[in-house]
Chain A
Amino acid sequence: MAEKFDLFKDISDSADAAVNYVGQKHPENLWMFDIQKVYWNEVHNAKALGKKLIYMGACVPMELLYAFDCTPMLLDMLPTRLCTTPELAAKYIDIAEEHVAASMCGIDKVDLGTVLSGDIPEKPDAFIYSTVPCDSSRVAYPAIDKHLGVPSYCMDIPYRKDETGYKYIADQNKEIITFLEDLTGTKLNMDKLKEVMEISDKTMILMKKIADLRKNHPCPLPGALLFLNQLIPAMAGHPEMLKCMEAQYAVAKHIVDHKMGAVKKENFRVLWLQNMLWCNLSALHYMEKTYGAIVVMEAFGYQETDLFNGSTDIDEICYISAKKALALPMIHGSSGPVEDYLHLVDDAMEAYDIDVAMYVGHVGCKHCWAAEKILKDMVQDKYGVPMMSLDVDAVDIRYKNNDEMVAVFKDFFDTLIENKKE
């Protein structure tokens, strides 16, 4: 009899295989793959190692979970990982569409589809999630919660990003501590939390330093690495995340010090305004290789976040975690007041000497699309920078494939080159 498919094992095994391959062919790049191996190995082995596996949504304070020695699994890591195997992502999307509207965000459809599919043999020990980032997740997460039937906690994330909003989340962070104490049967270990917070702070500082290095002309790192940094909210406080950022910083610093860049000749400095194109990173390589167009920054990754700074006061820690939650660009930048999103883009335009803006918008992010004109007007009026818009599905390549995307990029950059000549 065929062995039952185990999704976590499959992803974990493929991460192992990638590390083996890269280790032989490009050992200098191993740090990009090691982090994924560690993440998925831990998720797959959590139960065997006697750790509590906790599914998570956005805004949940990761540092608390690590302090309780739990293994977190950010649900949105599944679609961003699975979309590189299109038939697998498609399978889960199709399962979800048997129950929800097809227009629902593909990310949430994969989340829901994986859980409903039965391809994850064991249930997690708990599910902690929140009411952001979007209307699709507000369907998917509670539906997953209902389906799993494990202990759960849902945070309500406010629309407003101010003292009232921070305090509102901080109060719920305290409830999460109580929830985790009940779940694990242990009290919060402050020494462990301090250690985790220190790693988290160091990671965040490095992220900012790397972001600053990307301001250089030419930009030292390719656009695809911005997407790797998406792991940070999922692993803040994990030593391997810090290691990954240290390696990335060292590479960026080396390249800047030697006055080199990620591409031979940097012709266009691109700001990426919307979701990451997880299903087709090769489109970015095409832009870099063919046009010297490099994504120097993306609006959803451009963030400066508060640090714990060695705090031992639990009220203050919960408050800082709240501020960090509301600083997540994808979360509040896009789903709060439009000005939050606008300011993220404005700041990045200002800081990175951008000459091209690309709104390659995920069709699932309807609320972002409903802000696209406001962004475009600002980018064009304030900076005189052209902005292209293209609808894609960030995790489902069936919506628009590589050839279709590349054809649009080609037209866009060819036009820019023609205009430059004129």
Chain B
Amino acid sequence: MSNEEKLIKRSNINNASIDAWKQEGKKIIGTICCHVPEEIIHAAGALPVRLRATGCTEDSSAEVWMSAFSCSFARSCLEFLMDGTYDYMDGLVGSDGCLMAGRIYDNWRYAGKDKIEGKDYYLQQMGVPRMLKDTTLPFYQRELEDMKKGLEAFTGNEITEEKLQASVDLYNETRSLIRDLYELRKSDNPVITGEESLRMTMAAMTMPKEEYNTLMKGFLEEAKTKEPIKNKRARLMIIGSALDDPEYIKVIEDQGGLVVTDATCYGSRYLWEPVEVDDTGVMASLTKSYLSRPTCPRMTNLHDELHDFILKAVEDYKVDGVIYIRMKYCEIWGGESVFFEDKFKAANIPMITLEREEIMTSSGQLAVRAGAFIEMIEGGEK
């Protein structure tokens, strides 16, 4: 089996790496959203697994708890917690990325009482500032210190400065490898599709980084001899709400587009900017890094940084058009257009806005709209 195939297989929420980890009697901690530094969980000897709902086809149990007015991504994550998909987890660290993310955590504590109460199960909800300023950094660091203490008590493993530094180094290597993966996509004829790339970044969320890094290095070697993809009609970038469904990208790519980059939290925004440890210490450096990286428009004063990242990617990856995906009821990304519409117009970037639900029931409609967008790009219309 090639490294690529191994990575693709490990992009499943339940996979061989998870099984092996559990068989060793080690703990797995779920995380919600982008502001839970996995390095701290790793340094405690546990495996962090980022919560997602890839492949969810039914969310009615979660809808009872979260209502039909909730974001279907959040609802589907709760569904997977409830239906046993994540029964391998020994705990959950939430962060209030958005209010829906907060409610996954809240509802799980009630809906999942049978699986939590009386068990050795770790629960923590972090409050993450929504601004980057002098006042907010010490607050966030304190939240991370609380998380460190909680995980030390739960796992029985002390998180020393050295261990944390080693975790940061490991994760920085993952970041570097993911950037290398994206580097491949800058080529005029890349060797991987957007669908495959998403599977590969998601694999990093459901397996030990040590193993991931080895497989990814192997894949990057294999990629040198891989057949380039040709005959694609438009180079596309995806921006917007959480997108953890490679099939969604496949529908777009089946219409003749090639997704060459993205600004989504399961793609490039997962692990990208390296954590630079300075003389303030590892924890303080993690704090700065996680709060300042432009990951999600939840940060009220980092819109420009996020747009700069997108605009630079458009240039670097020779993007012909941007697909802006709004998850229904995701207000954070749903309103982001008000901040970037003028900039994107000025940059003359063709863009299409699509509304998405986690359970893909309208692939035909998506195919038609994606096809029309690609035709429009080919025709040179803006």
Q: Which residues of A contact B (CB under 8 A)?
A: 99-101, 103-105, 112, 131, 134-136, 138-143, 146, 154, 156, 158-160, 164-165, 168, 171-172, 175, 335, 337-338, 361, 363, 366-367, 369-374, 377, 391
Beta-carbon contact of A158 and B67 below 8 Å: no
Residue of B nearest to A167 (CB): B139
Apart from A104-B335, A369-B69, list 11 A-B contacts with CB within 8 A.
A136-B331, A139-B334, A143-B339, A156-B130, A158-B127, A159-B96, A159-B102, A337-B106, A338-B103, A370-B70, A371-B106
Taking the complex as formed, is B345 at the interface, i.e. its CB lies under 8 A from any CB of chain A? no
Beta-carbon contact of B329 and A103 below 8 Å: yes
Q: Which of B13-21, B175-183, B260-268, B295-303 forms contacts with chain A? A: B295-303
Q: Which of B126, B300, B326 contacts A101 (CB 8 A)?
A: B326
Q: Which of B67, B99, B128, B329 has the most CB of A within 10 A?
A: B99
Residues of B within 8 A of A143 (CB): 335, 338-339
Residue of B nearest to A391 (CB): B69
Q: What are some 14 contacts across the A-B interface (CB < 8 A)?
A: A100-B338, A101-B355, A131-B131, A131-B300, A135-B330, A135-B331, A156-B130, A158-B129, A158-B139, A366-B67, A366-B99, A372-B67, A373-B64, A374-B107
Beta-carbon contact of B139 and A168 below 8 Å: yes
Interface 1/0 per residue, B93-112 and A, CB below 8 Å: 00010111011001100100
Residue of A nearest to B67 (CB): A369
Main secondary structure of the interface of B (DSSP, over half): mixed
Residue of A nearest to B128 (CB): A159
Size of interface on B: residues with Cβ below 8 Å to A: 48
Residue of B nearest to A169 (CB): B135
Residues of A within 8 A of B269 (CB): none
Residues of A within 8 A of B130 (CB): 131, 138, 156
Taking the complex as formed, is B309 at the interface, i.e. its CB lies under 8 A from any CB of chain A? no
Taking the complex as formed, is B222 at the interface, i.e. its CB lies under 8 A from any CB of chain A? no
Beta-carbon contact of A103 and B334 below 8 Å: yes
Beta-carbon contact of A142 and B135 below 8 Å: no
Beta-carbon contact of B298 and A138 below 8 Å: yes
Beta-carbon contact of A156 and B135 below 8 Å: yes
Beta-carbon contact of A101 and B341 below 8 Å: no
Residues of B within 8 A of A138 (CB): 130, 298, 300, 331-332
- Chain A nearest CB, measured from B190 CB (Å): 32
Residue of B nearest to A102 (CB): B334
Taking the complex as formed, is B173 at the interface, i.e. its CB lies under 8 A from any CB of chain A? no
Residues of B within 8 A of A367 (CB): 99-100, 102-103
Beta-carbon contact of A146 and B339 below 8 Å: yes
Beta-carbon contact of B127 and A175 below 8 Å: no
- Chain B nearest CB, measured from A384 CB (Å): 19
Beta-carbon contact of B125 and A139 below 8 Å: no
Q: A135-B98, A159-B102, A370-B66 are in contact. Are A140 and B131 (CB under 8 A)?
A: no
Distance, CA A139 to CA B341, complexed state (A): 14
